[in-house]
Amino acid sequence: MTADTRIHADQVDAATNELDKKRKTRLNKLQKRLRREVGQAIEAFNMIEAGDKVMVCLSGGKDSYAMLDILLNLQKSAPVDFELVAVNLDQKQPGFPEHVLPEYLASIGVPYHIVERDTYSIVKEVVPEGKTTCALCSRLRRGTLYGFADEIGANKIALGHHRDDILETFFLNMFYGGKLKSMPPKLVSDDGKNMVIRPLAYAREKDIAEYAELKQFPIIPCNLCGSQENLQRQVIKEMLQGWDKTNPGRIETMFRALCNVVPSHLADTALFDFKSLQLGFPHGIADPAALAGFRAESDEESSSGNGGVQTMERIDILSL
Ligand code: SF4
């Protein structure tokens, strides 16, 4: 090796080391942030308690990998003992790389199950050609996973939806369904048998995507079935991403709004007893219990640290 070649090789090594150092620093930073956000969500919604057996649903996408990774990480330092079991539903889509998840899960030493159920054939049979299949596919997946949670005695089912999924669902329901509702971070299934939790509820999709890339999770795409992503969801996603570029901070503000609902200043008569409003009482309600969920002006002040513009907007709305 000539002196020139050695100098060049040393420079390449130094540049590679510098890059590795930067990646490591970024990875640590993201991991800390995701740990903090997942920890806050778990606490705020009392998602995980001592003795829980949590079935972590793994699709092979970035979100579920990140969820499992962060939950395993938190489990090590959590003040309470709980169990984590990873579960993947192999829906028999053509081209699904069956070996990827078992290999990954075995490599990290987490208990896991692969459930095989050919929902792909059912969906193809039932949904007319050209129509989007995701709704039925998700319903069948959900039903199978809920049933499997009972079989293995898991009392919680963790899904990898994040803050941006929650916001997208909120706008989808508002724009196309005429409802003010989203995906809750915690809910009981319709039959009352399963408790679903979404530990990534406070986490941003772009952080998760970057984390997944830095961790080099073996991602399996969710379009092996050839279905298009729901067009309406795609439109909403693009709208939100556009806002994020043109109005930085708006996404955060909107998500805070979902966590800060004022039923007395909406118009749902089932949610707030407008008929019983009376003069002479604070907020027009004689029974203090009826004020549950109502945020007084003092809440306004305590949240004013979130930005003057937001406070002004809320004051304007409240004074209408
Ligand atoms: S893209 Fe395919 S596998 Fe994914 S939810 Fe839709 S139908 Fe199911």
Q: Is 57 annotated as a binding residue?
A: no
Pocket residue to mutate for ligand 1, from 134, 138, 140, 231, most atoms within 8 A of Cβ: 134
| Residue owning the nearest CA to atom 7 of ligand 1 | 134
Let me know: does 96 contact 90? Beta carbons within 8 Å: yes
Q: How far is the CA of 225 from the centre of ligand 1 (A)?
A: 6
Q: Is 134 annotated as a binding residue?
A: yes
Interacting residues of 265 by C-beta distance below 8 A, sequence separation 6+: 317, 318
Residue 94 CB less than 6 A away from ligand 1: no
Domain with CATH 3.40.50.620 in the chain: 3-247
| Residue owning the nearest CA to atom 2 of ligand 1 | 225
| Residue owning the nearest CA to atom 1 of ligand 1 | 223
Q: What is the mean pLDDT of the chain?
A: 87
Predicted pLDDT of residue 99: 95
Strands 156-158 and 186-188: unpaired
Residue 225 CB less than 6 A away from ligand 1: yes
pLDDT tens by residue, 160-217: 999 999 999 999 999 999 999 999 999 998 889 899 999 999 999 999 999 999 999 9
Q: Domain 3-247: give its CATH architecture.
A: 3-Layer(aba) Sandwich (3.40)
Q: Is 259 annotated as a binding residue?
A: no
pLDDT at 275 over 80: yes
What's the half-sphere exposure (Cβ side, CA atoms, 13 Å) at 89?
A: 23
| Average pLDDT of the residues in 256-283 | 90
Q: How far is the CA of 134 from the centre of ligand 1 (A)?
A: 5
| Average pLDDT of the residues in 298-318 | 36
pLDDT at 300 over 90: no
What's the half-sphere exposure (Cβ side, CA atoms, 13 Å) at 109?
A: 2
Residue 137 CB less than 6 A away from ligand 1: yes
pLDDT tens by residue, 129-172: 877 788 888 899 999 999 999 999 999 999 999 999 999 999 99
Residue 230 CB less than 6 A away from ligand 1: no
Q: What is the pTM of this model?
A: 0.84
Alpha-carbon span 65 to 217, nearest angstrom: 7
pLDDT tens by residue, 26-64: 999 999 999 999 999 999 999 999 999 999 999 999 999
Which letter does DSSP use for residue 192 in this model?
Answer: S
For the CA of 137, the closest atom of ligand 1 is 8
Q: What percent of the chain is predicted at pLDDT more than 90? A: 67
Residue 223 CB less than 6 A away from ligand 1: yes
pLDDT at 311 over 80: no
Helices (H), the chain: 3-44, 62-77, 100-108, 119-126, 134-152, 163-177, 205-215, 231-246, 250-258, 297-302, 308-318
| One-letter amino acid for residue 122 of the chain | I
pLDDT at 319 over 60: no
CA dihedral over 306, 63, 156, 234, signed as positive or negative: positive
pLDDT band at 227 (very low <50, low <70, confident <90, very high): low
Residue 127 CB less than 6 A away from ligand 1: no
